[in-house]
Amino acid sequence: MTRCWKCGALFSGGTVVESTAVPVALETQSLMMRCIGDDEISLGSTNVARSEYLCAAVTVLRVVKEHMHSHPSLWSFDVPIDAVHAQVKFLGMSERLSLFTMLLEVMDDWPANFLHFSSVAGITQIAFGRRRNVPQWLNEVVAQLPARLRSRTGAMEANFVRYVRRLENEGGTKFRALRAQALMLAAKGKYGN
């Protein structure tokens, strides 16, 4: 074990680089160690069983990952696209650190940070509807989210989407040309005019 598994460099030949990520990594590690050692985790004004906390943290992480790629301005650090789409167990250390730092931000000051992120990112109860084994205390907070959001598409956009879907369903030899023409008009803002 003298070389890095990823780049092959010798461990003894490296240089020490100061990083601002170290305190966050230690805080994350400390929390995870408490989850292993303590019977209960303090979350906001309540204490929850560690198994329930870990189950909820995994659920929140999955839901937030699904919504965060369209809201990068919410984070004060970069979360790589790989970290958004890949499974956590296949990620490198820096990507995992980004995700767990983000998880700490969402779970901190529970439930205020979670509700704020959900509001900005458009997370609704539906995102949690297909999740099984969600603890009751998390369900109570999820119940504060809107059931669903109204579609933001106007009548013109809805007509455009219906037209393109109809073209795709009909297929045929001219389908691609007609779809491309409609998409170009929409890109120029001229569709429906």
Q: What is the largest CA-CA distance in the chain?
A: 67
Give the span between the Cα atoms of 182 and 165, in whole angstroms: 11
Residues in the chain: 193
* Crossing angle (nearest 10°) for helices 93-107 and 50-68: 110
Whether 123 and 141 have beta carbons less than 8 Å apart is answered as no
Cα separations in angstroms, 58 against 29, 36, 141, 146: 15, 15, 16, 21
Q: What is the pTM (predicted TM-score) of this model?
A: 0.61
Q: Both ends of the chain: CA-CA distance in Å?
A: 67
Q: What is the pLDDT of residues 69-122, one digit of tens each?
A: 655 555 555 666 656 667 777 777 777 777 788 888 888 889 998 998 888 888
State pLDDT tens for residues 29-38: 787 787 777 7
